[in-house]
Amino acid sequence: MRMQKLLLPLLLLILITALAACAAPAADTSQSASDAAQPADSSAASSAGEATMKSYEDMVVGYAQIGAESEWRTANTASIKEEAGNLGVELKFSDAQQKQENQIKAIRSFIAQQVDVIGVSPVVETGWETVFQEAKDAGIPLILVDRRADVPEDLYATYLGSDFVEEGRKAGNAMIEILGGEGKIVELVGTVGSAPANDRATGFREAIADTPGMEIIASQSGDFTRAKGKEVMEAFLKTYGDEINALYAHNDDMAIGAIQAIEEYGLKPGEDIKIVSVDAVRGAFEAMIEGKLNCTVECNPLLGPQFFDLALKVVNGEEVPKWVPSEESIFFPDEAEALLPTRKY
Amino acid sequence: MTSLSRGWERIRNAGLFWPLAALALVMLFNLIFTPNFFRLEIKNGHLFGSLIDILNRGAPLMLMAIGMTLVIATAGVDLSVGAVAAICAATATVLVGNVTGATNMPLWEVIPITLGVALLCGLWNGLLVSRARIEPMVATLVLMVAGRGIAQLITGGQIITVYYERFFYFGAGYLLGLPFTLFIVAGVMLFAWLMTRRTAIGLFIESVGTNASASFYSGINEKNVKLLAYVFCAFCAGIAGIIISSNVKSADANNVGLYMELDAILSVVIGGTLMSGGRFSLAGSVVGALLIQSVTTTIYAFGVPPEVVLVVKAVVVLFVVLLYSQPVKVALDKLSRRRGVRA
């Protein structure tokens, strides 16, 4: 019994230290944020007098990032930070750890610090009206990056992000070219209901609609993951076997999983079954070099340069469109080897 | 005639009948509607076909179900198995490292270290439940949530890809023409069976699950019995994690074993073990896991639209679980008895 009495406090102690360890980094960031607040106030005060055009050097940007949930996001963050350093922009960066309340807090603190412009990737689509209105009232323009928010258009300056439908169209056109306009395609869909999955499916179908030889014979969700992509592709191969001419995967990870399944089935990915996917991550380039992937459509996370270009325009009152599609290209195996070293994600 | 209907009643109430019947139904469906489902051929020197896929892909779930059975038999539940699998997948891949064609650490070190991590996770769960007396659902919830974070920390938030041929053997290798994963499952199953049916441990687990304080007063160390169940469960989850990462040659801390704890619990329930603890059936749980995997593979092979996959799964599960409910059983008994009388 005595053991038991001792053990409970001990366990509690372990738990508390563990919790404290978890909480520590968060506390750090909040402190550094408040540290950073003071210089921001002074710079805002000094620039308030002159109503002239701003340049990169005297612009203060607040950026409310979602978190670091994927390689894509990590690359996105790195690009924003790197470009800020290159241009000499004063960047206040906040990581919301996938929580909307953290993002709202970050935006409010940016308003309090009177930054010139706020960039935000809304973690969810809804619930932003109040805080966006606060920013508008404070005269600080907002730029939505990568994800949209479900708010009236006058609450934000512009949206910078991918056109998932266009990505689907590009993939479809590439597929027509690779197959010569005829073939049976299986599709690995992303997470059901997510915007990229819906739009990439729509775009692809639009692109192949006018080519009667192109037929999607099966379509199933692989949840954007390698394991599911492999499992679903295995099942496709068992059911349709050699009928399958091509695979369209909504992201590279599913394609990489499917490549393994195709190899285990005894066919050659990239030759017997042509593969087109979306994202253009490093793994896709490695696969293209090995000749196992035929094409990948870029979904560009390196939005830093475009973001700051837009930010400056918005701050200086220039007209910008409500939606600026991010610059994206499409890659084929012949250039993969040369490009791989330059890929950052 | 009455003896025949009574015989039917006995079969119906036998432990493995319903899970096997449900599995047979799924197979029957495939026999009729899915072309090539039962085709087995030899490719690259090993057996090949949808049935082999079910066994191979179902291996991680079968392992988790075996471990989960013992935990549920002690009237507990382990929600952290998916997260433990993620931690172990992350540990194994990080230790192997993403060096082309090589490993940072020999496999005979990687595997014991990874399984050691799994045992630690189990120890944590077991101590919280048996010593700190926290409700199992709450105690294991801690690691379910924190575990994915730990796995993220281990991988640094990246998907770790490995390129070491020998590591792939665990999840994608073949022995004697059969997937190697099957031998792992068979080994773990044999171990669990020997442990629970050839020693007193099985009886202890059942007695602790039925009435923990009565077991305590009859001299059973119920704390250590519970601890053992959680440690064994985490161990199984750890092996599952290695298999998953080895099969896809990478570890994605966000997705390895995601929601698998729910499938594992479902397998155990389908297998006929009561959530309230007590008597358990290891074989039933394995059949339950096979049933779930068969439904998944069938859905992929049959071409159900992705939007309704979960609904189809839910309907199948609902159907199977309904067969277990007492009122339905009573109704079935009545029905067959009446038929017996008429005949």
Residue A35: the pLDDT is 41
Given a cut of 60, is residue A42 above it in pLDDT? no
CB pair distance less than 8 Å for B250 and A74: no
Mean pLDDT score, A220-224: 86
- Of B292, B296, B319, B302, give the one whose Cα is nearest residue B33: B302
How far apart, in whole angstroms, are the C-alpha atoms of residue A296 and residue A182? 20
pLDDT at residue B98, rounded to an integer: 73
Spell B247-267 as b/e; 16+ CB within 10 A means b: bbbbbbbbbbbbebbebbbbb
- With a pLDDT cut of 90, the percent of chain A lying above it is 34
Hey, what are A67's tokens? 């978190």
The domain ranges of chain A are 54-162+302-327, 164-299
Q: Is the dihedral of CA A138, A141, A145, A147 positive or negative?
A: positive
Put simply, the chain B residues between 177 and 206 with a CB less than 8 A from any chain A CB are none
Predicted confidence at residue A10, as pLDDT, reads: 57
Residue B14, domain member (yes or no): no
User: How much is the mean pLDDT over chain A?
Assistant: 82
A175 pLDDT higher than 80: yes
* Lowest-confidence region among A62-76, A128-142, B87-101, B169-183: A62-76
More reliable by pLDDT, A196 or B122: B122
Q: How confident is the model at residue A203 (pLDDT cuts 50, 70, 90)?
A: very high
Residue range A104-132: mean pLDDT, rounded: 90
Q: How far is A70 from chain B (nearest CA, A)?
A: 7
State residue B19's pLDDT score. Answer: 81
Asked if A223 and B255 come within 8 Å (Cβ–Cβ), the reply is yes
For residue B128, the chain A residues in CB contact (below 8 A) are 11
| 3 state SS of A277 | strand
Query: Do the Cβ atoms of A11 and B132 come within 8 Å?
Result: yes
Q: How far is A90 from chain B (nearest CA, A)?
A: 27
Is B315 domain-assigned? Answer: no
CB B19 within 8 A of CB B291: yes
From 3.40.50.2300, 3.20.20.140, 2.160.10.10, 2.40.50.100, which CATH number describes the A164-299 domain?
3.40.50.2300
Q: Return the structure tokens found at A338.
A: 């040369």
CA distance B156 to chain A (A): 10
Query: Which residues are bridge partners to A277 per DSSP?
Result: A249, A296
Interface test with A, best of B300, B308, B310 (most A CBs within 10 A): B300
Q: Test A4 with B158 for CB contact under 8 angstroms.
A: no
Q: Taking CB atoms and an 8 Å limit, are A7 and B307 in contact across chains?
A: no
Position A40 scores a pLDDT of: 41
A49, two tokens: 């007098």
Model's pTM, two decimal places?
Answer: 0.74
Give the mean model confidence (pLDDT) for residues A224-246.
89
Q: Bigger pLDDT: A320 or A187?
A: A187
A51 pLDDT band, cuts 50/70/90, is low
Q: How far apart are CA B200 and CA B327, in angstroms?
A: 34
B35 contacts in chain A (CB < 8 Å): 239
- Let me know: does A292 contact A128? Beta carbons within 8 Å: no
**Any A CB within 8 A of B141 CB:** no
Do the Cβ atoms of B248 and A230 come within 8 Å? yes
Give a yes or no: residue B169 inside a domain: yes
Instruction: Select from A227, A231, A283 the Cβ nearest to the Cβ of B161.
Output: A283
Q: Which residues from B are below 8 Å from A78, CB to CB?
A: none
Asked if B256's CB is within 8 angstroms of A218's CB, the reply is: no
Q: How far apart are CA A58 and CA A87, in angstroms?
A: 10
Count helices and strands in chain A by DSSP H and E runs: 11, 12
Alpha carbons A267 and A248: distance in angstroms, whole number: 17
Q: Which CATH architecture has domain A54-162+302-327?
A: 3-Layer(aba) Sandwich (3.40)
Maximum average pLDDT range among A36-50, A322-336, B234-248: B234-248
Say how many domains are in chain B: 1
pLDDT of residue A94: 87
Interface contact flag, B158 A221, Cβ < 8 Å: no
What's residue B7's pLDDT?
67
Contact B37 A226 (CB under 8 A): no
Is residue B63 within 8 A of residue B188, CB to CB? The reply is: yes
> For residue A146, is pLDDT > 80?
yes
Per-10-residue mean pLDDT of chain B, 343 residues long, equals 62 72 86 78 76 88 94 92 93 83 80 94 93 91 90 81 82 84 93 92 90 88 92 95 89 83 90 86 91 87 78 84 77 74 51
Question: What are the angstrom distances between the C-alpha of B49 and each of A39, A186, B19, B90?
Answer: 66, 19, 23, 30
CA A114 to chain centre: 27
Taking every pair of Cα atoms in chain B, the longest distance, rounded to a whole number of angstroms, is 73
Supply the pLDDT for residue B229: 93
Residue range A282-308, pLDDT digits in tens: 888 889 999 999 999 988 888 888 899
Among B127, B305, B307, select the one facing A11 at the smallest CB separation: B127
Provide mean pLDDT across the span A316-320: 87
Rounded CA separation B277/B267 (Å) = 15
What pLDDT, on the 0 to 100 scale, is given for residue B195?
92
- pLDDT recorded at residue A131: 92
Which pLDDT score is estimated for B321? 79
Q: What is the pLDDT of residue A292?
A: 93
Residue B293 lies in a domain: no
Is A33 within 8 Å of A107 (Cβ atoms)?
no
Domain holding B222, by residue range, is: 60-286
Flag whether B251 is in a domain.
yes
In a domain, B338, yes or no: no
Q: How many CB pairs under 8 A join A and B?
A: 91
Say if residue A28's pLDDT is above 50: no
Residues of B in contact with A223 (CB under 8 A): 255
Mean pLDDT of A299-327: 87
